[in-house]
């Protein structure tokens, strides 16, 4: 049975909100459900109690609860009250999320069971006090060796002493920028990029310079011209299934970009969350220019974002300074999460999870190809890119998407400079099931047709 008459925190957040109080109350309820403050089966306070608490009419609360039911948040039982509705495989609470780039649940693998088994084994064998203490450095020897093994299919053999363990890709990216660049330096990138780069560059006082790109990423001639005009300190690249445009560099393009960077003394920051999802990835930039490239490989997109572990392959010349930078930005990766991931890599479970994620990603991408044939993306991509009319963006896009029960990311969120193609990054992994994803993609296709 659910908890009776929960606290009023979510109700208080509706007080004083702009606009109709019934709408603010329904929005506060939805936020509480999405944020986990309210759980399926929880019984809500009686409507009269809520009305008295807020000093509003009973009918206002009735209207708010009714709207929450329309959104699929509540269910009622005669004589018992209103309860938070349980989610099903074909149901999403609130907006269906096509904005967050998450890996889908791995096909044929129970992460919950595997995590419980692995953590239990670790805690039975390890000294918990040591495990949960502060750990200096950027990973233990065994963790670095595991990182080298995980990245080997893409970057080849890397000595473990050049492999660092970071608390996620964002911390690794910030530490890399701080290590390779000085305040005021320029960093070259594509016109549409991962928003986390924009955040870190702004915080570090770096200037992002967009380089013209095509269906394979940065155009070599444009990158050459940019370097001749005044070489940037670094170039930021995502060569496999780029975020957000989903483009992938061929090997010839990779070699050309690397040659230009090496000739002009430009550091390469290779953000590579997705290569291991490909059936046959091209050699990483770090494999082509190991002494010029910092390679960041998060496991958040291939295994689980909850691990918050990224592996960083660093050139020998900067590995020590980068390890210090990582410590300054995030102190250390979670020892328990790092121990779990190390065990999974060493014993083969990580490859099984990866295969499951890849299989589910392939099925979802095929579904997207049926509903949105114009969208760009590899066969195992976690997201696709769809062009959109110039007038469909920003608040107009968000409002149009919300009206269809969707959460989408406009091009503006990824844009650098003034010249960039308009479109939508459509993430395929967050919906709980293919059925939910299919309905959301159908609604997205309708939105694009109507805006054309």
Mean pLDDT of 46-65: 90
Residue 193 has pLDDT above 60, yes or no: yes
166's enclosing H/E stretch is strand 163-166
Where residue 217 sits, what CATH number does that domain have?
3.40.640.10
pLDDT band at 399 (very low <50, low <70, confident <90, very high): confident
Q: What is the mean pLDDT of the chain?
A: 90
3-state SS, residue 165:
strand
Alpha-helix runs per DSSP H in 294-393: 319-330, 335-347, 349-371
**Residue 221: which residues within 8 A CB-CB, separation 6 or more?**
none
In this structure, are 167 and 294 located in the same domain?
Answer: yes
The label of the residue with tokens 């959104």 reads: 71
Residue 220 lies in a domain: yes
In this structure, are 236 and 363 located in the same domain?
Answer: no
236 beta partners: 269
In this structure, are 203 and 298 located in the same domain?
Answer: yes
Residue 89 has pLDDT above 60, yes or no: no
pLDDT band at 151 (very low <50, low <70, confident <90, very high): very high
Where residue 56 sits, what CATH number does that domain have?
1.10.10.10
Last residue of a domain, one of 284, 318, 350: 350
Residue 5 has pLDDT above 60, yes or no: no
Alpha-helix runs per DSSP H in 55-168: 58-70, 111-125, 128-131, 141-155
Residue 419 lies in a domain: yes
Mean pLDDT of 181-199: 96
Distance CA 243, CA 382 (A): 10
Q: Return the DSSP state at 36.
A: T
Residue 90 has pLDDT above 60, yes or no: no
Distance CA 366, CA 379 (A): 7
Residue 391 and residue 352 in contact, taking contact as beta carbons nearer than 8 Å? no
Residue 369 lies in a domain: yes
In this structure, are 299 and 393 located in the same domain?
Answer: no
In this structure, are 269 and 359 located in the same domain?
Answer: no
In this structure, are 47 and 140 located in the same domain?
Answer: no
Domain encompassing residue 237: 111-350
In this structure, are 314 and 337 located in the same domain?
Answer: yes
The label of the residue with tokens 């990973």 reads: 139
Last residue of a domain, one of 350, 383, 410: 350
Mean pLDDT of 258-271: 98
Where residue 377 sits, what CATH number does that domain have?
3.90.1150.10
In this structure, are 170 and 201 located in the same domain?
Answer: yes
Task: Read off the pLDDT of residues 217-245 as tens digits, 9 standing for 90 and up.
Answer: 999 999 999 999 999 999 999 999 999 99
In this structure, are 80 and 120 located in the same domain?
Answer: no
Residue 428's nearest CA partner among 397, 398, 372, 384 is 384
Last residue of a domain, one of 306, 324, 350: 350
In this structure, are 205 and 232 located in the same domain?
Answer: yes
Task: Read off the pLDDT of residues 120-132 as tens digits, 9 standing for 90 and up.
Answer: 999 998 888 888 8
The pLDDT value recorded for residue 371 is 97
Task: Read off the pLDDT of residues 155-167 as tens digits, 9 standing for 90 and up.
Answer: 999 999 999 999 9
Cα torsion 237, 239, 240, 242: sign: positive
Mean pLDDT of 141-154: 96
End-to-end CA distance of the chain: 50
pLDDT band at 93 (very low <50, low <70, confident <90, very high): low
285 beta partners: none
Q: Is 36 exposed, middle or buried (0-12, 13-18, 19+ CB in 10 A)?
A: exposed
Residue 1 has pLDDT above 70, yes or no: no
Say how many domains are in the chain: 3
Residue 83 and residue 75 in contact, taking contact as beta carbons nearer than 8 Å? yes
Distance CA 368, CA 382 (A): 11
Task: Read off the pLDDT of residues 167-187 as tens digits, 9 standing for 90 and up.
Answer: 999 999 999 999 999 999 999
Residue 50 has pLDDT above 50, yes or no: yes
Q: What are 407's two structure tokens?
A: 């959460």
Residue 259 lies in a domain: yes
The label of the residue with tokens 């991962």 reads: 194
Residue 90 lies in a domain: no
Residue 4 lies in a domain: no
Q: Out of 9-23, 162-176, 318-332, which region has the weakest mean confidence (pLDDT)?
A: 9-23
Residue 89 lies in a domain: no
Residue 228 and residue 261 in contact, taking contact as beta carbons nearer than 8 Å? no
Q: Is 251 exposed, middle or buried (0-12, 13-18, 19+ CB in 10 A)?
A: exposed
In this structure, are 336 and 410 located in the same domain?
Answer: no
In this structure, are 68 and 116 located in the same domain?
Answer: no
Q: 143-171: buried (b, 16+ CB within 10 Å) or exposed (e) per residue?
A: bbbbbbbbbeebbeebebebbbbbbbbbb
Residue 115 lies in a domain: yes
The pLDDT value recorded for residue 35 is 65
Mean pLDDT of 4-10: 59
């Amino acid at each position: 049975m659910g908890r009776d008459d929960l606290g009023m925190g979510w109700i208080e957040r509706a007080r004083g909100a702009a606009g109709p109080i019934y709408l603010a109350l329904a929005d506060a309820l939805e936020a509480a459900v999405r944020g986990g403050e309210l759980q399926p089966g929880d019984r809500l306070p009686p409507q009269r109690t809520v009305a008295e608490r807020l000093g509003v009419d009973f009918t206002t609360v009735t209207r708010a609860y009714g709207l929450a039911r329309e959104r699929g948040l509540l269910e009622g039982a005669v004589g018992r009250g209103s309860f938070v509705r349980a989610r099903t495989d074909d149901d999403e609470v609130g907006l269906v999320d096509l904005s967050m780039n998450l890996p889908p649940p791995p096909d044929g693998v129970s992460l919950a069971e595997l995590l419980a088994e692995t953590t239990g084994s670790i805690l039975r064998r390890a000294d918990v006090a040591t495990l949960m203490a502060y750990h200096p450095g950027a990973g233990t020897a065994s963790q670095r060796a595991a990182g080298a093994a995980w990245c080997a299919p893409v970057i080849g053999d890397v000595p473990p002493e050049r492999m660092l363990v970071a608390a996620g890709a964002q911390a690794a990216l910030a530490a890399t920028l701080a290590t390779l660049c000085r305040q005021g330096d320029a960093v070259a990138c594509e016109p549409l990029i991962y928003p986390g780069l924009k955040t870190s560059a702004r915080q570090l006082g770096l200037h992002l310079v967009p380089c013209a790109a095509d269906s394979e990423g940065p155009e070599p001639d444009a990158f050459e011209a940019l370097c001749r005009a005044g070489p940037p300190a670094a170039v930021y690249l995502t060569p496999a299934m780029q975020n957000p445009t989903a483009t992938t560099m061929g090997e010839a393009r990779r070699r050309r970009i690397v040659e230009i960077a090496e000739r002009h003394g430009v550091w390469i920051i290779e953000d590579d969350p997705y290569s291991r999802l490909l059936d046959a990835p091209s050699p990483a930039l770090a494999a082509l220019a190991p002494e010029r490239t910092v390679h960041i490989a998060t496991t958040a997109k291939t295994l689980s974002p909850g691990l918050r572990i990224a592996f960083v392959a660093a050139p020998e010349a900067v590995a020590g300074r980068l390890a210090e930078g990582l410590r300054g930005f995030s102190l250390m990766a979670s020892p328990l999460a790092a121990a779990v991931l190390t065990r999974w890599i060493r014993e083969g479970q990580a490859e099984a999870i990866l295969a499951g994620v890849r299989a589910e990603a392939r099925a979802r991408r095929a579904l997207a190809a049926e509903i949105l044939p114009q969208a760009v993306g590899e066969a195992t991509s976690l997201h696709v890119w769809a062009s959109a009319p110039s007038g469909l963006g920003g608040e107009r896009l968000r409002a149009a998407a919300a009206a269809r029960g969707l959460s989408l990311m406009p091009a503006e969120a990824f844009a650098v400079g003034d010249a960039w193609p308009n479109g939508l990054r459509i993430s395929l992994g967050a919906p709980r099931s293919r059925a939910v994803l299919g309905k959301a993609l159908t609604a997205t296709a309708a939105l694009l047709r109507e805006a054309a």
